Amino acid sequence: MKRRMVLIGVVMALASGSFSGLAGSQDAAESTSSAAEEFVSQAEEHLLGLWTEAARASWVRSTYITGDTQALAALASKRAIEATARLAKESAGFETAGLPRELARKLELLRLSLTLAAPPDPKASEELTRLVTSMESTYGKGKVCGEAGDECRNLQDLSRIMASSRDPEALKAAWVGWRGISPPMRRDYQRYVELANQGARSLGFSDTGAMWRAKYDMPPEAFLGELDRLWEQVRPFYLSLHAYVRQRLRTHYGPEVVPANGPIPAHLLGNMWAQTWSNVFPLVAPRETDPGFDLTEILRSRKTTPRQMVSYGEGFFSSLGFAPLPQSFWDRSLFEKPRDREVICHASAWNVDGREDLRIKMCIDITAEDFNVIHHELGHNYYQRAYSQQPVLFRESANDGFHEAVGDTIALSITPPYLVKLGLLDQAPPSSKDLGLLLRQALDKIAFLPFGLLVDQWRWKVFSGEIAPDRYNQAWWELRGKYQGIAPPVARGDGDFDPGAKYHVPANVPYTRYFLAQILQFQFHRALAREAACEDSLHRCSIYGSEAAGKRLREMLAMGASRPWPEALEVLTGEREMDATAILDYFAPLRKWLDEQNKGQPVGW
């Protein structure tokens, strides 16, 4: 499921703060309102230059992978990380009590701005940025080749096998093959953890995981409680879907391949990481759940180009009252994989200069999946543009889950009536066909929820030392078994490093944002559907063409990070607490149907 995997590498994660020590050291006596204001003003002015320099270097590295571009990106990233670490330390010297609200928030965001903090030692800092750049590039260049070194396949090639093959041995070979790229990262990752923790501790955090959890306008312990609460709201639905899929896969592959009441083998779920299962829809969908159309086939039969795919996404936002994308977007974005060089195809959205230099980087396939991905990525771009009028330190989403949720909220409006308005369908299928559409979405969105939760559960335990290096792989599969109910198709050993086969781990991209986005997008959709005066079932509502919904959305996007996320949530939804019940409302017909299918069948593992 590429559409939840937005590339925000080390540099992009630093978008909320970079500094080059302009203000000098500050002590408590200088922490007056005027001193704090001057400090922040100078920091923001210099911030934009550092951010833009690093983003441009990262863009070139991602779209033209060579030793030189890796070195240049690492150098720019190093400057940004070291500067931000100095800034974060200096901002902590100001007492925020009594300061104007906006100024106090800027100082707090500066303190919490990093996802990767530079160690105090310059040599260690340089080593850290080199490690992250190297691991990310190793991932981007990953290939699986035959014994003779020929017939090499990259991740896109292997993902197509995972999506379409029904041969369990071919699936197993692709699954195992891709995980061959990550063992060389294992030692580097261990060192990265050591150095990243040094940087986090220099900022007053116990480890890097604690630093990440402090970013949600609540104490880190309360945030952990929020995650547990949200997961418990949706866990029974996931268990029901898991039981049904296991039953159907067992029917297809046989009892010798799929157990009756244990974990599902990971290679059979249609995705390299078993994070979404929509590619096995043909195997698990009974005849009565046929949605009545195949968007991939429709797009291909019309000879749709990658650029036209992006134009469809732009048109959606235009229908809500958003301004068209700038010409520079079309000139500078990457829509197709070049034939002459290696690139990181992982879909991502960029605002290179913090103003109007919007881009997406994506090797577009003409598929229904990528049609959705494009809407998602453009959601990032329109969010970036909306808050570009804010001060530099507020040019970020209300929390990182918001950024991911906005594009997915738009994608929820890719309904049959929307496709009719685009001319891609002659008429919408009757409501009797909805069950198939809901099942396909659940295989995407509900199946993803535990994976979205466990990636950072693993990393937080690694950062804290609860998971030692010799247990990296074992603990990874323990968590995947606990939350997802899946198991590897072959035995995995201590020498393997399966977490590294997932982009976000070597690239230092926090992952809890994707879990939050899954919750928030349905909450956003429910509120915007009300604003659009949709009286149909929630899953049939599209906000396409609703200026009222667009106005409410723009109001929230324009806030950026200027206010705590509960206030941004209230502007859009009227609610101040994240709530997963919108998921249950959206999928209500499917939940009832799954419970009927599971009668007499084991549930759980």
Annotation marks residue 346 as catalytic: yes
Residues 6+ apart with CB under 8 A from 192: 128, 131, 132, 135, 508
CA distance 261 to 241: 13
Task: Give, to the nearest 10 degrees, the angle between helix 512-531 and helix 434-464.
Answer: 140
How far apart are the C-alpha atoms of 269 and 113, rounded to whole Å? 37
Closest CA to 408 of 276, 548, 244: 276
Residue corresponding to tokens 């063992």: 183
E strands present in 118-211: 143-144, 153-154
**Can you tell me the distance from the alpha carbon of 163 to that of 161, in angstroms, rounded to the nearest whole number?**
5
Nearest to 36 by CA among 80, 81, 93: 93
Task: Point out the catalytic residue in the list 90, 369, 404, 531.
Answer: 404
Residue 514 annotated to the active site: yes
CA distance 194 to 547: 50
Crossing angle (nearest 10°) for helices 168-178 and 155-164: 150
Radius of gyration of the chain (CA): 23
> Is 376 in the active site?
yes
Confirm if 486 and 546 have CB atoms less than 8 A apart: no
The DSSP letter of residue 173 is H
From the list 267, 380, 403, 525, the catalytic residue is 380
**Which one of the listed residues 57, 200, 214, 347 is annotated catalytic?**
347
Given 242, 375, 376, 525, which residue is catalytic?
Answer: 376
Phi first, then psi: what are they for 64, rounded to 5°? -155, 85
Question: Any catalytic annotation for residue 242?
Answer: no
377 noted as active-site residue: yes
- C-alpha 7/C-alpha 51 separation (Å) is 16
- The string of DSSP codes covering 399-460 is SHHHHHHHHHHHHTT--HHHHHHTTS-SSPPPGGGHHHHHHHHHHHHHHHHHHHHHHHHHHH
Phi, psi of 264 (to 5 degrees): -85, 135
- How big is the chain, counted in residues? 605
Alpha-carbon distance 495 to 219, whole Å? 37
Q: Which residues pair with 487 in a beta bridge?
A: 265
Q: Are 149 and 470 in contact (CB under 8 A)?
A: no
| Annotated catalytic residue within 82, 377, 396, 531 | 377
Task: Assess contact for 433 and 292: CB atoms under 8 A.
Answer: yes
Q: Considering the candidates 346, 403, 525, 539, report the single residue annotated as catalytic.
A: 346
Helix (H) / strand (E) containing 360: strand 358-361
From 514, 539, 561, 568, the catalytic residue: 514
CA distances from 208 to 76, 104, 119, 277, 466 (A): 21, 23, 12, 31, 13
Distance from CA of residue 395 to its chain's centroid?
18
404 is known as an active-site residue = yes
Indicate the pairing of strand 486-487 with strand 264-265. parallel
Catalytic residue (one of 504, 507, 527, 544): 504
3-state secondary structure 247-293: HHHHHHHCCCCCCCCCCEEHHHCCCCCCCCCHHHHHHHCCHHHCCCC
DSSP secondary structure string, 315-335?
Answer: HHHHHTTPPPPPHHHHHH-B-
Catalytic residues, which ones? 346-347, 376-377, 380, 404, 504, 514
